[in-house]
Amino acid sequence: MTTPPRKLRSSAWFDNPDNIDMTALYLERYLNFGLSLEELQSGRPIIGIAQTGSDLSPCNRHHLVLAERVREGIREAGGIVLEFPVHPIQETGKRPTAGLDRNLAYLGLVEVLYGYPLDAVVLTIGCDKTTPAALMAAATVNIPAIALSVGPMLNGWHKGERTGSGTIVWKARQLLAAGEIDDAEFIRLVASSAPSTGYCNTMGTATTMNSLCEALGMSLPASAAIPAPYRDRQECAYRTGKRIVEMVAEDLKPSDILTKHAFHNAIRVNSAIGGSTNAPIHLSAIARHIGVDLPLKDWETEGHKVPLLVNLQPAGEYLGEDYYRAGGVPAVVNQLMGQGLIHEDALTVNGKTMGDNCRGVAIEDEKVIHPFDKPLVVDAGFIVLSGNLFDAAVMKTSVIGLEFRERYLSNPDDLDAFEGPAVVFDGPEDYHHRIDDPATGITAETLLFMRGAGPIGYPGAAEVVNMRPPAYLITEGIHALPCIGDGRQSGTSGSPSILNASPEAAAMGGLALLKTGDRVRIDLNKGTADVLISDAELAQRRADLIAAGGYRYPASQTPWQEIQRAVVGQMNTGAILEGAEKYQRIAQT
Ligand code: FES
Ligand code: MG
pLDDT tens across 414-460, in order? Answer: 667 889 999 999 999 999 999 999 999 999 999 999 999 999 999 99
Of the candidates 401, 375, 244, 237, the residue with the CA atom closest to the CA atom of residue 314: 401
Section 290-318 average pLDDT: 96
216 burial class (0-12, 13-18, 19+ CB within 10 angstroms)? Answer: buried
Q: Residues 68-80: pLDDT tens digits?
A: 999 999 999 999 9
249 C-alpha to ligand 2 centroid (Å): 37
Whether the CB of 196 sits within 6 Å of ligand 1 = no
**Helix (H) or strand (E) segment spanning residue 419:** strand 417-426
Domain 383-548 in CATH 3.50.30.80: yes
Check pLDDT > 90 for residue 281: yes
Strands 120-125 and 145-149: parallel
Check pLDDT > 80 for residue 494: no
Rg (CA), the chain: 24
Q: Residue 417's pLDDT is what?
A: 85
Q: Residues 311-342: pLDDT tens digits?
A: 999 889 999 999 999 999 999 999 999 999 99
80 C-alpha to ligand 1 centroid (Å): 31
Which of the 8 DSSP states describes residue 379? S
> Which ligand does the CA of 463 lie closest to?
2
Q: Which ligand 1 atom lies nearest to the CA of residue 58?
A: 1
- Which of 101, 128, 130 is the pocket-test mutation for ligand 1 (most atoms within 8 Å of CB)? 128
> Which ligand does the CA of 199 lie closest to?
1
Reported as a pLDDT band with limits 50, 70 and 90, residue 410 is low
Q: Residue 456's pLDDT is what?
A: 98
Whether the CB of 92 sits within 6 Å of ligand 1 = yes
Q: Which ligand 1 atom lies nearest to the CA of residue 126?
A: 4
Whether the CB of 507 sits within 6 Å of ligand 1 = no
The dihedral sign for the CA sequence 60, 66, 71, 73 = negative
Whether the CB of 200 sits within 6 Å of ligand 1 = yes
- Which of 127, 196, 213 is the pocket-test mutation for ligand 1 (most atoms within 8 Å of CB)? 127
Q: Residue 4's pLDDT is what?
A: 46
- Which of 92, 149, 193, 276 is the pocket-test mutation for ligand 1 (most atoms within 8 Å of CB)? 92
Q: Residue 384's pLDDT is what?
A: 97
Reported as a pLDDT band with limits 50, 70 and 90, residue 25 is very high
Q: How many angstroms separate the CA atoms of 20 and 324, rounded?
A: 52
Of the candidates 243, 285, 24, the residue with the CA atom closest to the CA atom of residue 133: 285
Check pLDDT > 60 for residue 3: no
Helix 260-273 with 328-337: angle, nearest 10 deg: 110
Section 287-291 average pLDDT: 98
Share of the chain above pLDDT 70, in %: 97
Predicted ipTM?
Answer: 0.89
Q: Residue 2's pLDDT is what?
A: 47
Whether 482 and 447 have beta carbons less than 8 Å apart is answered as yes
The dihedral sign for the CA sequence 405, 411, 415, 418 = negative
- Which of 89, 124, 168, 200 is the pocket-test mutation for ligand 1 (most atoms within 8 Å of CB)? 200
> Which ligand does the CA of 461 lie closest to?
2
Check pLDDT > 80 for residue 526: yes
Q: Residues 128-139: pLDDT tens digits?
A: 999 999 999 999
Neighbours of 6 (CB within 10 A): 9
> Which ligand does the CA of 320 lie closest to?
1
3-class SS at 393?
Answer: strand
State the chain's maximal CA–CA distance in angstroms.
Answer: 78
CA 486 to chain centre: 17
128 C-alpha to ligand 1 centroid (Å): 6
Whether the CB of 91 sits within 6 Å of ligand 1 = yes
Q: Residue 178's pLDDT is what?
A: 86
Question: Ligand 1 atom 1: the closest Cα is on which residue?
Answer: 127
Q: How many angstroms separate the CA atoms of 200 and 128, rounded?
A: 9
Q: Residues 196-218: pLDDT tens digits?
A: 999 999 999 999 999 999 999 99
Mean predicted lDDT score pLDDT of the chain: 94
492 C-alpha to ligand 2 centroid (Å): 7
Q: Which ligand 1 atom lies nearest to the CA of residue 165?
A: 2
Whether 496 and 395 have beta carbons less than 8 Å apart is answered as yes
Whether 576 and 289 have beta carbons less than 8 Å apart is answered as yes
248 C-alpha to ligand 2 centroid (Å): 33
Q: How many angstroms separate the CA atoms of 305 and 316, rounded?
A: 19
**Range with the poorest average pLDDT among 31-45, 50-64, 307-321, 406-420:** 406-420
**Residue 334: CA atoms inside 13 Å, Cβ hemisphere, count?**
20
Q: Residue 5's pLDDT is what?
A: 52
Q: Which ligand 1 atom lies nearest to the CA of residue 204?
A: 2
Section 233-245 average pLDDT: 98
Reported as a pLDDT band with limits 50, 70 and 90, residue 584 is very high
209 C-alpha to ligand 2 centroid (Å): 11
Q: Which ligand 1 atom lies nearest to the CA of residue 492?
A: 2
Q: How many angstroms separate the CA atoms of 264 and 109, rounded?
A: 26
Entry field: residues in the chain: 589
Q: Residues 179-188: pLDDT tens digits?
A: 999 999 999 9
- Write down the domain spans for the chain: 45-153+205-358, 156-194, 383-548
211 C-alpha to ligand 2 centroid (Å): 15
Section 242-261 average pLDDT: 98
pTM here is 0.96
The neighbouring-strand residues paired with 448 are: 423, 483
CA 441 to chain centre: 35
Write the DSSP string, 80-97.
EEEEEE-----TTTSSS-
Listed in sequence order, the residues at least 6 apart from 279 whose beta carbon sits closer than 8 Å to its beta carbon are 205, 208, 209, 212, 266, 270, 491
Q: How many angstroms separate the CA atoms of 334 and 355, rounded?
A: 8
Whether the CB of 463 sits within 6 Å of ligand 1 = no
Whether the CB of 125 sits within 6 Å of ligand 1 = no
- Which of 190, 199, 312 is the pocket-test mutation for ligand 1 (most atoms within 8 Å of CB)? 199
